[in-house]
Structure 1
Amino acid sequence: MKLSEYFENTPGRGIMATADADGHVGIAVYARPHFIDEETVAFIMADKLMHKNLQSNPQAAYLFMEDKERYVGKRLYLTKIKEEKDKALIDQIRRKDKCPVYRVYKDSLRYLVYFHIDKVLPLIGEKK
C-alpha cells in the first residue's frame, strides 16, 4: 500500500515535533499530512511554536498512531522544503469535516508548509 493511501484510509491521531536552532523542542497534535506525491507532504500550520521553530531548523518529526488497542502506526522524519500563505489554497485542501478546530481558527494566519519525507519507520521499533 502506498503511504498516501495509508494516511488517507487509516483512522488515527498525529503528533508533530520540531525544535528551534538551540534545540528547544515543541510538540503538538496535528492532522494527517496532505500528500503532494509519495515523497512530499504538506501540513497546514498556525502561526505558533511549531511553525516558528521551522524558521531556524527545517527538521521535523511526525508520529501517527492508529486508532487500535495496540501500538501501530508510522513515524515520518521530515525536512521543510518551502511554505506559502495562500489562504484560498489552504481553504481548498483543508479537511473541514474532519478538523475540530477549523471553526475556531479558520480566520487566523495559516501557512501551508511542504516537507520532504526523509525516512519512514513503524511506530514501534526500527526496521531501517
Structure 2
Amino acid sequence: MEDRLKNLKKSMDRTTFAQLNFTEKHRKDIREKINKQDENEEDILFAVMQLLVQEKTGFELAKLLRGRGVRKFEDNEGFLYILLHRLEQNQCIQAAWNESEAKYYRLTDKGRKILQKAAKKQTKNRFAFHELLEG
C-alpha cells in the first residue's frame, strides 16, 4: 500500500472511525451479506472485465453493473473493490490515480487474453475464471 494511503488510514482510524462500535449482530449481518451468493461470481467477474476494456472508476463501474442488472453491490460496495483488488493482484487489471485523485481501472494484456478466451467458449469462461476466483 502506498505511504499516502497508509497515512490516510491511520488518520481515519484515529478520527473518523474512532467513535464506531459494531455489535456482534451487526458484524454477523455484514458477514452474511458478503457471503450471500445471489448472483454467480463468475458472471459478475465476466461483466466487470468486459466493462474494463475501457478505463473506468469504481463508481462508474458500479453504475454500469447496476444497469446490467447486477445487484450484488447495492448494499455492499466493498464487494466490488475486493473483486477489483483481486483482479489487480492477479495482474488482470491495473489501477492508476489521476490528477483529481480518482482511481481508474483497466484491463491489462493478461486480462484481455482471459476475457477473449472466456468470450470464445462458455466452458472456457468457467475454467478461466475459476483460477481467478480461487486467488
**TM-score normalised to the size of structure 1?**
0.27
**TM-score normalised to the size of structure 2?**
0.26
